[in-house]
Amino acid sequence: MATIVVKQIGSPIRRPAIQRETLKGLGLNKMNRTRELEDTPSIRGMVAKIPHLVTIIEEKS
């Protein structure tokens, strides 16, 4: 199973509620936190919606 490591690089302060909820859905809530998540189309879509708040730092296959 492929995974990606996602790091939060931006603050959700003064962002729309949907962007804050997307961060929570990814399991992120504080600056510089990282999460290892499954590489699925839904996760990729969530990351694509908030590219200014998160970055993919590693892709594992």
Domains belonging to the chain, first-starting first, are 3-60 (3.30.1390.20)
The pLDDT, as a whole number, for residue 16 is: 98
Q: Report how far apart the first and last C-alpha atoms of the chain are (Å, whole number).
A: 6
* pLDDT, tens only, 4-59: 999 999 999 999 999 999 999 999 999 999 999 999 999 999 999 999 999 999 99
Per DSSP, 11 falls in state -
**pTM of the full predicted structure?**
0.93
Using DSSP's 3-state secondary structure scheme, residue 51 falls into: coil
The pLDDT, as a whole number, for residue 9 is: 98
The pLDDT, as a whole number, for residue 48 is: 98
The pLDDT, as a whole number, for residue 20 is: 98
56: closest CA among 5, 20, 9? 5
